């Protein structure tokens, strides 16, 4: 198959699937990973695909994220129950990172009265709550991402690089039983990865609707987390997979 034919085939497959790894494309097209990566560079320059770490996305796949306001009214009771389970894992004093997102915002509501706690976040709604907080609340710098009301980009990464956390509470837009946690956008993934890197203990919290529905950009495998709090009902093989990765699973009862 000549390069133009292969590139047209890649474009068609990515449009149909939305998100694939380089190895999946190589297997489907009978080409080497090096060849596929070269084709992806050409297609990305033409605006046909978006390359991500180890894979490729269709541009439309990145445009499907619901806004913060819409997510804030989804599964509220479940998110509150998840937040209570997460808070039980957080010490009364020390420094904690809280991710952006509606579930982490519920966690924050339960922590703001802890006077000896410092909360660091990239969540704009959480920073607004911080004006009436007994806990110390610190916002990382960065560019505002309007759809998620999160601070992202190089400045946010530089802030995080100089900090350390006793606990980082991270959220995900999607979860995969094999691959771990994912989000919708590269700059958000980078912030999550940096926050995780700077933390002694890492918690992942996510409600059942995201289980086995991976988002566009993977940001952490299961071996990066110490605790996973969810209301999803995992199968026995899925639970075993998480145990092998060293994750303590905490499943709460759905409200």
Q: Tokens representing 19?
A: 């998100």
Q: What is the pLDDT of residue 55?
A: 74
Indicate yes or no: pTM above 0.75. no
Sign of torsion over alpha carbons 84, 66, 23, 194: negative
CA-wise closest residue to 27 among 4, 59, 55, 46:
55
Strand intervals (E) in 23-75 = 50-52, 55-57
CA–CA distance, 234 with 232 (Å, rounded to integer): 6
Q: What is the pLDDT of residue 177?
A: 92
CA–CA distance, 34 with 221 (Å, rounded to integer): 24
CA–CA distance, 13 with 88 (Å, rounded to integer): 45
Q: Tokens representing 112?
A: 């703001």
Q: What is the pLDDT of residue 120?
A: 98
Beta-strand relationship, 165-171 and 199-206: parallel
Q: What tens-digit pLDDT sequence spans the chain (255 residues)?
A: 788 889 889 988 888 777 778 888 899 899 998 999 899 989 888 888 887 666 777 776 555 544 444 444 455 788 889 999 999 999 999 999 999 988 999 999 999 999 999 999 999 999 999 888 999 999 998 999 887 889 999 999 999 999 999 999 999 999 999 999 999 888 999 999 999 999 999 999 998 989 998 988 899 999 999 999 999 999 999 999 999 999 999 999 866
CA-wise closest residue to 224 among 163, 190, 180, 188:
180
**Domains of the chain (ranges, CATH numbers):** 3-63 (1.10.10.10), 68-251 (3.40.50.1360)
């Amino acid at each position: 198959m000549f390069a133009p034919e292969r590139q047209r085939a890649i474009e068609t497959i990515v449009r149909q699937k939305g998100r694939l790894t380089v190895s999946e494309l190589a297997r489907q097209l009978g080409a080497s990973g090096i060849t596929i990566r070269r084709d992806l560079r050409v297609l990305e320059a033409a605006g046909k695909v978006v390359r991500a770490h180890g894979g490729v996305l269709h541009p439309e796949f990145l445009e499907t994220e619901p806004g913060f306001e819409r997510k804030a009214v989804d599964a509220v009771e479940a998110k509150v129950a998840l937040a209570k389970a997460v808070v039980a894992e957080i010490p009364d004093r020390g420094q904690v990172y809280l991710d952006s997102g509606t579930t982490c915002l519920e966690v924050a509501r339960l922590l703001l009265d802890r006077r000896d706690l410092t909360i660091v976040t990239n969540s704009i709604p959480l920073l607004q709550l911080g004006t009436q907080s007994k806990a110390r609340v610190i916002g990382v710098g960065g560019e505002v991402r309007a759809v998620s009301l999160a601070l992202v980009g190089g400045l946010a990464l530089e802030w995080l690089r100089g900090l350390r956390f006793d606990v980082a509470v991270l959220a995900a837009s999607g979860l995969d039983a094999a691959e771990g946690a994912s989000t919708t956008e590269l700059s958000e993934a980078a912030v999550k990865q940096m926050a995780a890197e700077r933390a002694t203990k890492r918690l992942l919290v996510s409600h059942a609707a995201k289980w086995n529905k991976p988002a566009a950009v993977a940001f952490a495998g299961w071996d990066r987390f110490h605790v996973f709090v969810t209301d999803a009902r995992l199968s026995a093989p899925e639970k075993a997979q998480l145990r092998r990765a060293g994750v303590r699973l905490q499943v709460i009862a759905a409200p």
